[in-house]
A and B are shown apart, each in its own frame.
Chain A
Amino acid sequence: MMELSNIIFLIVFVVFISVFVRNFSRIISNIKLGRDIDRSDRKADRWKNMFRVAMGQSKMTRRPVAGILHIIVYVGFLIINIEMIEIIIDGIFGTHRFLSTILSEGLYTFLIGSFEVLAILVLVACVIFLVRRNLIRINRFWNKEMTSWPRTDANLILIFEILLMSAFLIMNATDAMLVANSADHYTISFSDPVSQYFHFLFNGMENSTLILVERFAWWFHIVGILIFMNYVLISKHLHIFFAFPSTYFANLNNLGQFDNLESVTKEVKLMMDPNSDPFAAAPEGSTPPQSFGAKDVTDLNWVQLLNAYSCTECGRCTDNCPANHTGKLLSPRKILMDTRDRITEYVDNKRKGTEDTKSLLGDYITTEELWACTSCNACTDACPIELDPLSIILDMRRYLVMEQSAAPTELNMMFTNVENNGAPWQFPAADRLNWKDE
């Protein structure tokens, strides 16, 4: 028989999940605004990469402190979420600790016990993360692009997680006390290796007060998770979903290999073909060529946009960037953050029908940033989920050079030399062997 509280739970649950599904699919359609890129090859390698890098966290531990703390939170989050099954079933059907009725006593004991141990570990890890960010003030969390919102975002996530874990432990603590008091409805004993140490907080409380606390913690925990899920969609924390596709669709080639633009290949082949007719009309049904390179987010490919949504702003890329390290404007993390901010703005304007005169290039990312990159791949190597800010930098340089002829003067001179004499310096090709006799 459904009671009022079950009906309320069902409504709350359905509303939050529907909002989540709507907003999540909006993000997916935003990502699909990107140009096409074929990442359907090497499926086995892609799965392997995802298992190793995202599930296996293989790159996180390159920084041992952050890495190990992160693995605790990651494993904790994955496993404690099994508890969600029980909470949802209990919520809808008014059962209490449903899993205990279908699992063997040993297994249920083990599950709840391990949830508790993980919960306290996650809680402690999050406290340490807060201390690292705000008290120790680790450099990469205080770079220029880490303005008030990114910092608040990070702190909110950590506080959320601390509250959720606390609610879980308080729920178990009061539940166990009610079981000991033989209160109605509270008949299922379970292992409480951690929450038993929190009983002192509630000592001397009447059963009715304990029930109030237990119910409050239960509701706080589940509603908190539902809110958190939705919050993640507007937060840097989206990596908890997108780390997986990002590593699956990552560039698996040698880091030094940059893509060859196909549209350019066609034109160059035409230019070099002595039999081609330069005045020939475009064949019927052919699509007009896209612009070369990227000016705005819609010129980027969908993997680059997925990358932008996946970035959790940890700053390892920027921390390793030689340009950033020596005080230049460039920050690879900012490139990804800007891309996400711009796609959000672009889509909002579209939806509202507002005129949009901005673009990623210029309004968000300046040419000074783009020209500071040495293409050294320190950023892509450092990224724990193999995001590729360098490819965005390159695509924007391509736009600057091929659509706007806006390279720095020295580079234009270099281009001219290569065009005229096949070397970046002004030496004739005939002198290429002079070293032999010098």
Chain B
Amino acid sequence: MSELKVKTMAEFMAEGKEADILFWVGSAGSFDDRAKKITRSFVEIMNKAGVNFGVLGSEESSSGDAAKRSGNEFLFQMQAMMNIEVMNAYNVKRIVTTCPHSYNTLKNEYKGLGGDYKVQHHTEFIAELLSEGKLKVTGDLSGKKITYHDPCYLGRANNVYEIPRELIKSLGVELAEMKRSKRKSFCCGAGGAQMFKDPEKGQQDININRTEEALALKPDIIATGCPFCNTMMTDGVKSVNEGAAQVKDIAELIAENI
């Protein structure tokens, strides 16, 4: 396994230096086994492009997205203010994150509480690296069929639809669109803190419904840009038709092909 170059903001400070950008890893990216692989892939990309980034490490704490969306505004604002205090102390200006939930919260909801940052989703950031020539796609996945599942908190919530698709297309693959895509995209079932609880009773679980739609296209890979969507779709593929397709984050697809 390749050695990753990762420095914390505290280490930067101790050296009297500043990072250009803060990589917000997020709780899923830090602790969930599947999401940790996405984190590593994204760091590989940044290492390759020579990005001068820092992480908060043990000083990072939940963004508060799940708390807020389940109605615990107290806990959300406690989290937000603590995180803002830490980030402002490190003079953070730019943030990149692999989690659309953190992305949405940090970008839209922290600014009213004293945290004003330029926040990017990792797909936006990777696209920038590519267009600036700091990164080159060398691999070729042509012949593979990929479908892209829009994370709600990246798509509908923040209107980022095209950039992830452009990244996928840059790999030379066939991008097959589900009928419910972009603004009409169907949720994976994890948002609004559903990730942390059992679904209410119904005829079907939401992730199964979405996975069936994706698998109907017979893709080799279901790509997404969210650790929660990744979990839901991975579970979905397991119960609908195990092995029918891989579920991958765009960061992983890019990391494997640069």
Binds B, one of A89-97, A174-182, A232-240, A422-430: A422-430
Which residue of chain B has the shortest Cβ distance to A328 in the bound complex? B202
> Closest residue of chain A to B40, judged by CB?
A435
Query: B240 in the interface, Cβ–Cβ < 8 Å?
Result: no
Residues of chain B contacted by A397 (CB below 8 angstroms): 69-71
Residues in B neighbouring A257, C-beta threshold 8 A: 104, 108-109, 157
If the complex has contacts A260-B112, A430-B58, are A374 and B191 also in contact, measured as CB distance less than 8 A? yes
Asked if B241 lies at the interface with its beta carbon under 8 angstroms from chain A, I say: no
Task: Point out the residues of chain B lying under 8 angstroms from A376, CB to CB.
Answer: 152, 156, 187, 191-192
Q: Which of A251-308 contact B (CB under 8 A)?
A: 253-258, 260-261, 264-265, 267-269, 271-272, 292-293
Chain B residues near A212 (CB, 8 Å)? Answer: none
How many Å lie between the Cα of A239 and that of B36 in the bound state?
49
Which residue of chain A has its CB nearest to the CB of B187? Answer: A376
A406 CB, min distance to chain B CBs, angstroms: 10
Q: Is A327 in contact with chain B by the CB < 8 A criterion?
A: yes
Please give the distance in Å from B232's CB to the nearest CB on chain A: 10
Encoded as 1 (CB less than 8 Å from any B CB) or 0, chain A from 374 to 413 comes to: 1111100100000000000010111111100001101101
> When chains A and B are docked, how far (Å) is the Cα of A394 from the Cα of B196?
17
Q: Check B113 against A326 for contact (C-beta < 8 Å).
A: no
Residues of B within 8 A of A328 (CB): 199-202
> Is B75's CB under 8 angstroms from A418's CB?
yes
Shortest CB distance A309–B (Å): 25
B66 and A401 form a contact (CB under 8 A) = no
Q: Which residues of B, 70-109, contact A by the 8 Å Cβ criterion? A: 70-75, 77-79, 81-82, 104, 108-109
**How many of B's residues come within 8 Å of A, CB to CB?**
73
B1 to chain A, nearest CB (A): 8
Q: Are B189 and A374 interface neighbours, CB within 8 A?
A: yes
Q: Are A422 and B108 in contact, CB atoms less than 8 angstroms apart?
A: no
Give the docked Cα–Cα distance between A322 and B36 (Å). 28
Indicate which residue in A254, A320, A375, A418 contacts B67 across the interface (CB closer than 8 Å): A418
B6: which A residues are within 8 A, CB to CB? 433, 436
Determine if B205 and A326 form an interchain contact, defined as CB atoms under 8 angstroms apart.
yes
CA distance A81 to B80 in the complex (A): 53
Which positions 98-153 of chain B face chain A at CB distance < 8 Å? 104, 108-109, 112-113, 152-153
Which partner residue on chain B sits nearest A401 by CB separation? B71
Please measure, in the bound complex, the distance between the C-alpha atom of A413 and the C-alpha atom of B195, giving whole angstroms. Answer: 13
| CA of A323 to CA of B57, assembled, Å | 36
Q: How far is the CA of A432 from the CA of B56 in the complex (A)?
A: 9
- A272 CA to B84 CA in the complex, in Å? 13
Residue of B nearest to A265 (CB): B77
Which among A33-41, A153-161, A365-373 touches the partner chain?
A: A365-373
A-B contact count (CB 8 A): 214
Report if A431 contacts B (CB, 8 A): yes
A-binding segment of B23-31, B170-178, B242-250: B23-31
Kindly state whether residue A438 has any CB partner on chain B within 8 Å.
Answer: yes
Q: Does B17 contact A (CB under 8 A)?
A: no
Contacts of B158 in A (CB 8 A): 254-256
Determine whether A415 belongs to the interface, using a CB cutoff of 8 Å to chain B.
yes
CB within 8 Å of A: which of B2-31?
Answer: 4, 6, 8, 25, 27, 29-31
Is A322 in contact with B55, judged by CB distance below 8 angstroms?
no
* Residue A414, interface by CB 8 Å: yes
Q: Does A325 contact B (CB under 8 A)?
A: yes
Does B53 reach chain A (CB closer than 8 Å)?
A: no
Residues in B whose Cβ lies below 8 Å from that of A430: 58
Q: Is B169 an interface residue (CB 8 A)?
A: no
User: With a CB–CB cut-off of 8 A, which chain B residues contact A293?
Assistant: 71, 73
Chain B residues with Cβ below 8 Å from A418 are 61-62, 64, 66-67, 75, 79
- Is A419 an interface residue when CB atoms closer than 8 A count as contact? yes
In the complex, what residues of B have CB within 8 A of residue A188's CB?
none
Would you call B193 an interface residue if the criterion is a C-beta within 8 Å of the partner chain's C-beta atoms? yes
Quote the shortest CB–CB distance from A35 to chain B (angstroms).
Answer: 15
Q: Is B67 a contact of A415 with CB atoms below 8 Å?
A: yes
Contact of B68 among A258, A326, A414 (CB under 8 A): A258
CA distance A255 to B68 in the complex (A): 15
Report B208-228 CB contacts with A as 1/0, cut-off 8 Å.
Answer: 111000000000000000000
- Residues of B close to A424: CB separation below 8 A: 27, 62, 66, 195-196
Write out the residue numbers on chain A whose beta carbons fall within 8 Å of the beta carbon of B75.
Answer: 415, 418-419
Residues of chain A within 8 A of B40, CB atoms compared: 435-436, 438
Give the residues in chain A near B77, CB-CB below 8 Å: 260-261, 264-265, 268
> Could you jot down 12 A-B contacts, CB within 8 Å?
A265-B113, A368-B200, A374-B152, A375-B191, A376-B187, A377-B152, A410-B197, A414-B66, A418-B62, A422-B62, A424-B196, A432-B58
Q: 7 other contacts beyond A258-B109, A398-B72, with CB at 8 A cut-off?
A: A256-B156, A325-B206, A328-B199, A401-B71, A410-B196, A423-B62, A433-B8
- Which 3 A-B pairs rank lowest in CB-CB distance, beginning with the nearest? A256-B157, A397-B71, A327-B203
